[in-house]
Amino acid sequence: MLRGRWRMDNVWIVPDSVFDAGTLQQGRALRLEEGRATTICDLAAVPQGQRLLAVAGVLTPGFVDLQINGGGGVLFNQSPDPAGIAAIAAAHRRFGTVALMPTLITDAPTVLAHAAKAAIAARASRGFAGLHIEGPHIALSRRGTHAAAFVRPLDDVTLETLHDLRAAGVTVMMTLAPEIVTPDQITALTAMGIIVSLGHSDATAEQANAAFAAGARSVTHLFNAMSQMQGRAPGLVGAAINSDVYVGIICDGVHVADDMVALACRARPVAGRMILVSDAMPTVGGPDRFDLYGQEIRLQDARLVNAEGNLAGAHCTMLSGVQRLVRQVGLSLEQALHMAITAPATLLGAAHLGQVAGRSVDDLFVVDDALALHPLSGNIRRDIA
């Protein structure tokens, strides 16, 4: 096994297969130069006389998570600053997530302001893919663990904050309830470059479809905190599944039953529009409890619950989600990696996050036959030529 600082010129590696730009490919070779992957091509196209090194497993870019509340003992709502973002990113990188959106759930306007300043300061930092603002413009009846005291209509304070974020070039996703805002407001947010996502909502299917027509491009954690699908009332769940927008889902065996995850994945009319999210909390890589809104959230039987017994985020990683998608839900590894890398990167308009070429070696991993994840730099086995 080869190790080192990875300051190599003209070295080619040949994995068993490569997940790149949304597909699993065989017979591919990757050139490494100065700690980066510079070229990917067919093995037959590698120039004669080059050193070839074998890699056992599937080479893949790291995961892209659009919904992370915390990690490493840090909750973004409590540490809405660059140090908090860095700590959360470092905690999740250990599990293969190399790009993430720290997520601020419903809170006071001052907390949103601090989070926006942190996002602007961190916009060029390693692993930061943008800011996800989940609430506060949501339905009280579907608030889940979000504090009722901070739920409010869309106001000038939020709009000014969003304007500042976009002016600074920060990618922003905003989860809101379509029955709380108007289609015209959704159109205006979309025109600003905001990725509008529907969630924490009691919307009818008609309201959801009107929001999609107005520019909403995604749905936040399908099945959770939203109007459910019934025979005569599709609700937000039914509208989301029937739509062509991107739909996030938590796959931890707690938030959504595996059979329902499988059903939703099979039923989408446009392939490739399902997105795996972790909805992770500080317990990932941290202690088994933390404070939210002055209440203790504790890990109990693999569930994070608040004092009311409501789910309060998830204790899972993107890696565990990918593993569950393959083992329990029955998806192929290619489909699972698409949900964890390609689809979220596409929604963000950041196709490079789903590609191998141009990436630092530190952003590349190898998945073995047991679905364990390994850093590329520690998984090169032998010379093959």
Which residues does 188 contact at the CB level (< 8 Å), separation at least 6?
none
Q: Distance between the two ends of the chain, CA-based, in angstroms?
A: 16
Q: Which of 107, 252, 279, 363 is catalytic?
A: 279
Q: Is 279 one of the annotated active-site residues of the chain?
A: yes
Q: Is 26 exposed, middle or buried (0-12, 13-18, 19+ CB in 10 A)?
A: exposed
Supply 188's token pair: 């205006």
Backbone angles phi, psi at 175, to 5 degrees: -90, 125
- Biggest CA pair distance of the chain: 68
Alpha-carbon distance values, 143 to 135, 212, 226, 316 (Å): 9, 21, 9, 21
Q: What is the set of active-site residues? A: 279
